[in-house]
Structure 1
Amino acid sequence: MKPLDFGRSDDPRVQAQLDRLSALSVPQGRLGLETIRALLDRLGNPHRQLPPVFHVAGTNGKGSTCAFLRAMLEAEGYRVHVTTSPHLVRYNERIRLAGELISDAALAEVLAEVLNAGEDLAPSFFEVTIAAAFLAFSRTPADVCVVEVGMGGRFDATNVLEPEALAACGIAALGLDHERFLLAPEDGVPLEPMARIAFEKAGIAKQGVPLVTLSYRPESNREVIAAAQRAGAPLAMCGDAWDVRPGVMTTYHDQVGTFTFPRPALAGVHQVQNAGLALAMIQHQDRVTVDPLAMAKGLLNAHWPARMQRLKAGPLTGTREVWLDGGHNPQAGAMLGEHFAGQRLHLVIGMIEGKDPTAVTVPLGPTLVSITAVPVPGHDWHPVEAFGPKARPAPDVASAMAMIPDDGLPILIAGSLYLAGEVLRLNHELPD
């Protein structure tokens, strides 16, 4: 079954363009930036007409890092453009103009313009999306942009950004994901999987633009350092140029000094690293200035749906304690296991085919009172048997919730961002 990643809209103008988008996919065997560059050239090269850009790659945590960046920059009073992926409920979530989700009218117009311009180029879904975002950004006044890499980095459509546009590039946590694309055989690339992942992510490095990163395994660190040297990018790696430590307060340290901030609003110990990366990206560039008070306010105000999100009381949750996380790889599973260590909880899980069904259940194993497996709407999903002998099936999330006893224990819904989007829709918590 083809993923329904393009979404649905109640606005017929938007739906007409989403129907056109639904026919697009990643062209098999095509790698490179030639198509997106040709498309942007026809549109007047809007990526060269942007305010300073913070460009963020990574396997896990890049979206949270973008959320922290946006919150801190807005706390300083800047108008911020943002493009992230995927969307959870509405395609509009992918494009935020000067702080607000793009309107249906503007979205329909910009998608039509991009699709018309590239009809004979056979662009991918994501190439059209990024071209539309950059076109909308170039036409709406703002002070700064935050751009999340979609997949990888070296050949990602966002990597058309040139040094003149960039304030800083960042790389969040690394892990194995999208292996079919990111580990595809190619001459002249690292053979060790994690070294190859680092090589791909670090492909966003640009001459003269600070490359701010976490610290990784030795083979990954070597590739990041080599990529920065090849590009001529000043490297600021955690542990060398900066550091961040969790505690009652968050302690951040770099060459300027030591700063103490509140714990990040986003739940999970791993979010301290993501917050630290956002802080370091701001600290290691000179295109915009952000006061420490604004940084602190941003850490407290950051919001990133479906990433360790405590759901509100609503039609799906009732008054129970329900957590939502779209994590689906071993790194995300490890973070969930760490966050819920020592607790007891119920798990509702849905995972699309091709993902490791044990990625979440194994790290959470000691905490789980029950496992209920559900379909992922619009996708082929793992059957209940994939989650072990103790798992039981449910036809949908609402049915799964009804099957869980009201015993006062928390419920975690996890395994897929597509499932997370359905949960938010059912609980009337649309991302805004």
Structure 2
Amino acid sequence: MIDLGLSRVIRLLTALGNPQLTWKAVHVAGTNGKGSVCAYISSCITQAKISNGRFTSPHLVDRFDCISINGKPVVENLFLEVEKKVSEVNLENNIQATDFELLTAIAFEIFHRQKVDLAVIEVGLGGRLDATNVLPPSQTLCSIITKIGLDHQNFLGNTLSEIAREKAGIIKQAVPCILDATNEPEVIREVEKIVSQNNSKLILAHPLTNKTTGPFQVDPSTSPLLGSYQMSNLSCSLQALLEIQKHYPLSDRIVQQGIKETQWPGRLQKVQLSNGFEVLLDGAHNNQAADLLAEYINNSVRPSATSAITFIVAFSQGKDFKGILQRLVKPGDTVIATQFGAVDGMPWVAPCDPQEIAAVAYSFTDPANVHIEQSIQKGLSRAQQTPTTSSTVICGSLYLVADFVRATR
């Protein structure tokens, strides 16, 4: 169940003793790129030996891997211990917190128990009414807003301006706000208004290029994360690290090494199976992300404009999978429509019917190239029997990517 609002999570955290007041935070919102920004920053502050936590969602493989301490997923026993405590407090006080509110409280309590100095916190959905938006200005070093696009319109609004207002709800009084400068003009205008209302400072992060050196003398070409859009995410991250540097020691060498060692699984990630078969994983689940994935595929994966690709796809219910397929699939491509399994800890998430996906895919490629399989394992088997295509891409949902990781680890 998704029920946005702050009243329940405030009650829950108060009953826990307000663990979020014992560490500093960097707060990250946006439609796409949030996770990459969190990964860059976390890698650099871990490299600097700053005791830190990271909370991103959804989890990739295990329910607890959305919470990290010093760059490593939290130990399962600690997660379960804190989960039990938070659940008891929720029941004893009849708070009726949602699953994500409980998870947020678990993360914040773990950071308190682990005595982290700094935590990188990714918004779950939106910003203004997201459970993570209980971080007070006194504890927040900066807010970051990455690229904003159309997604979750049933919760956030139907226009970029409306969505931008919700995302900009994380801007706090007198706390610097870093904004991806490639956002549309209406997004920048909305953010500027809210920055002004909060007596904050707006820092526009312009995308880096391979011909320029970023803050901390970072060479953008050393970033291991694929995709040209990462130059904007890297720029946002480096601007945030400049703000962090005002409170913690960060040298050029440390940041350069942190960027080089950044990992963000499941996002434009190349994986080779034990039999040598290679796939490209990406969690692209909205039109903006599909545009970026299509750009990467067409520039770096298709040997020529007419080369065929195999797509293994699944989508969460409510996603615009027609728009996503339209951006990705070319005539001659193969589409294998499948579904992901139950998502641990997120019972409200359900996959689209593969038959519905296939029916839409017929519009974009030869119907003979469209197949339905009921699981990622069967989809992979089918893909490996498709000799006419040059590459295989698994996309449409991070939950599908997670099923792939579980099936092949």
Give the alignment's TM-score, normalised by structure 2. 0.88
Q: Would the aligned equivalents of 2:220 and 2:231 in 1 still touch at CA under 8 Å?
A: no
Aligned residues: 381
Q: Would the aligned equivalents of 1:340 and 1:367 in 2 still touch at CA under 8 Å?
A: no
Map 1:89-100 to 2 at 5 A. Answer: 89-100=61-72
Superposition deviation, residue 177 in structure 1: 1.1
Judged with a 3 Å threshold, the aligned counterparts in structure 2 of structure 1 residues 88 and 34 are, in CA distance, closer, same or farther, namely: same
Superposition deviation, residue 222 in structure 1: 1.0
Distance in 1 (CA, whole Å) between partners of 2:317 and 2:243 is 40
Counterpart code for 1:40: L
Equivalence for 2:170: 204
Map 1:40-55 to 2 at 5 A. Answer: 40-50=13-23, 52-55=24-27
Distance in 1 (CA, whole Å) between partners of 2:141 and 2:15 is 25
Superposition deviation, residue 282 in structure 1: 1.2
Equivalence for 1:142: 116
Equivalence for 2:209: 246
Counterpart code for 2:329: G
Map 1:206-245 to 2 at 5 A. Answer: 206-215=172-181, 216-238=183-205, 243-245=206-208
Matched, 1:416 2:397: yes
Judged with a 3 Å threshold, the aligned counterparts in structure 2 of structure 1 residues 380 and 245 are, in CA distance, closer, same or farther, namely: closer
Distance in 2 (CA, whole Å) between partners of 1:163 and 1:298 is 27
Which stretch shows the higher mean deviation, 194-203 or 213-222? Answer: 213-222
Secondary structure class of the residue paired with 1:287 = coil
Secondary structure class of the residue paired with 1:81 = strand
Q: Would the aligned equivalents of 1:182 and 1:196 in 2 still touch at CA under 8 Å?
A: yes
Matched, 1:337 2:337: no
Superposition deviation, residue 376 in structure 1: 2.3
Give the CA RMSD over aligned residues. Answer: 1.9
Superposition deviation, residue 49 in structure 1: 0.8
Counterpart code for 2:286: N
Distance in 1 (CA, whole Å) between partners of 2:404 and 2:324 is 18
1:118-165 CA-to-partner distances (Å, cap 9, x unmatched) read 121110111101111111111112332111110000011111001111
Overall identity of the aligned pairs, in %: 30
1:42-80 CA-to-partner distances (Å, cap 9, x unmatched) read 000111111x21111111000111000111111222222
Q: Would the aligned equivalents of 1:89 and 1:421 in 2 still touch at CA under 8 Å?
A: yes
Map 1:381-420 to 2 at 5 A. Answer: 381-382=352-353, 383=355, 384-389=358-363, 390=367, 391-404=370-383, 405-406=386-387, 409-420=390-401
Q: Would the aligned equivalents of 1:244 and 1:250 in 2 still touch at CA under 8 Å?
A: no
Counterpart code for 2:120: V
Superposition deviation, residue 392 in structure 1: 1.8
Secondary structure class of the residue paired with 2:132 = helix
Superposition deviation, residue 294 in structure 1: 1.9
Q: Segments of 4+ in structure 1 off by > 3 A? A: 257-263
Which stretch shows the higher mean deviation, 332-341 or 288-297? Answer: 288-297
Equivalence for 1:361: 325
Q: Would the aligned equivalents of 1:57 and 1:201 in 2 still touch at CA under 8 Å?
A: yes
Map 1:16-27 to 2 at 5 A. Answer: 25-27=1-3
1:149-208 CA-to-partner distances (Å, cap 9, x unmatched) read 10000011111001111111101110111111112xxxxxxxx71001111111111112
Gaps of 5+ in 1: 1-24, 184-191
Equivalence for 1:16: none
Distance in 2 (CA, whole Å) between partners of 1:88 and 1:143 is 25
Q: Would the aligned equivalents of 2:269 and 2:282 in 1 still touch at CA under 8 Å?
A: yes
Q: Would the aligned equivalents of 1:310 and 1:323 in 2 still touch at CA under 8 Å?
A: yes
Equivalence for 2:347: none
Judged with a 3 Å threshold, the aligned counterparts in structure 2 of structure 1 residues 385 and 261 are, in CA distance, closer, same or farther, namely: closer
Distance in 2 (CA, whole Å) between partners of 1:349 and 1:82 is 29
Superposition deviation, residue 291 in structure 1: 1.5
Distance in 2 (CA, whole Å) between partners of 1:43 and 1:368 is 57
1:288-315 CA-to-partner distances (Å, cap 9, x unmatched) read 232222222122111111111111323x
Distance in 2 (CA, whole Å) between partners of 1:298 and 1:69 is 8
Distance in 1 (CA, whole Å) between partners of 2:331 and 2:265 is 24
Map 1:61-140 to 2 at 5 A. Answer: 61-119=33-91, 120-140=94-114
Equivalence for 1:8: none
Q: Would the aligned equivalents of 2:50 and 2:117 in 1 still touch at CA under 8 Å?
A: yes
Judged with a 3 Å threshold, the aligned counterparts in structure 2 of structure 1 residues 211 and 225 are, in CA distance, closer, same or farther, namely: same
Matched, 1:33 2:9: no
Give the alignment's TM-score, normalised by structure 1. 0.84
1:330-368 CA-to-partner distances (Å, cap 9, x unmatched) read 011000111011513211111122111123322223386
Q: Would the aligned equivalents of 1:98 and 1:140 in 2 still touch at CA under 8 Å?
A: no
Distance in 1 (CA, whole Å) between partners of 2:107 and 2:86 is 10
Distance in 2 (CA, whole Å) between partners of 1:104 and 1:295 is 29
Distance in 1 (CA, whole Å) between partners of 2:116 and 2:251 is 19
Q: Would the aligned equivalents of 2:208 and 2:220 in 1 still touch at CA under 8 Å?
A: no
Q: Would the aligned equivalents of 1:310 and 1:324 in 2 still touch at CA under 8 Å?
A: yes
Distance in 1 (CA, whole Å) between partners of 2:55 and 2:227 is 24
Gaps of 5+ in 2: 343-349
Judged with a 3 Å threshold, the aligned counterparts in structure 2 of structure 1 residues 297 and 132 are, in CA distance, closer, same or farther, namely: same
1:256-298 CA-to-partner distances (Å, cap 9, x unmatched) read x975443311111111111111001111342223222222212
